[in-house]
Structure 1
C-alpha cells in the first residue's frame, strides 16, 4: 500500500499523538524491559503492537531523535509521533524533551557589565 491510506491504517486512524510534547529533536530510547522476547507484547487501544511499533523499539536501542526515527522508517513525522506516543503511554520508551532555548540577555545588561569591567582597570 502507498499513499495516504497506509499511514491512516498504521495509526489506527489517529492523526495526533496522545502527548503533544514530542518535538522533532526529542530523544527516544527503548525502555530496558521493552521489546520482543519478553513474553506477551503490551496492548495498545487498537490491540497488540504493530510492525512499526516494533521497528521503533528496535531502532531505539540507541538514543535517536523523533526526526531520525521518521527518516529510518521512511514514514511521515506525524505518523511516527503517534506511534512513539503509543509506546510512551505503554512505558515501552523513554522520551527526553529538547532543552528549552536559553533566554537572550538584554543588550543593556551586557553593556552595563562591560562598563563595570572597564571601571575595574
Structure 2
C-alpha cells in the first residue's frame, strides 16, 4: 500500500469480521467475468478493486493477503463484501473427511522415488 501504513479498521470500515463466517484461509476466490466493474458503493475501496483484479486467476484468501500485504482478517472482510455483491465466487476448502490420508500420499511419494 502506498502512502504509508493504513490501519486495518480504516480499510474495512471499522469491521473486524466478515459477513461470511464460512470463509477460510484456503477458500479459493475468483472474480466473476460478468462483473468487471464494481458497483458504486461507499463501503468499497481500492483494496476491493485490487482483489477483483488479482482474482481473475483462482487464488486462496491467504494468497490474496500475501499479494496485498494485508492481514488475513482484513482480506476476509473485503472478500466477504465482494461475495455479498456478487463480484466474486468463493469455493470452500475440501472438508477434512474428503482429503487423502497423509500416509497414502507418503506411500505414493516413496513409490515415485523408486521409479527413478
TM-score range normalised by the length of the shorter chain? 0.7 to 0.9
In the superposition, the TM-score normalised over structure 2's length comes to 0.76
1:58-116 Cα offsets, whole Å, 9 max, x none, are 00000000000000000000000000000000000000000101179xxxxxxxxxxxx
Mapped to 1, the partners of 2:98 and 2:57 lie a distance apart of 31
In the superposition, the TM-score normalised over structure 1's length comes to 0.73
C-alpha deviation, 1:16, in angstroms: 0.2
- Structure 1: tracts of 5 or more residues without a match: 105-121
Mapped to 2, the partners of 1:87 and 1:103 lie a distance apart of 28
Instruction: Name the count of aligned residue pairs.
Output: 96
C-alpha deviation, 1:49, in angstroms: 2.2
CA contact (8 A) 2:62 2:72 kept: yes
C-alpha deviation, 1:34, in angstroms: 2.2
- 1:15 aligned to 2:50? no
CA contact (8 A) 1:42 1:48 kept: no
- Structure 2: tracts of 5 or more residues without a match: 100-116
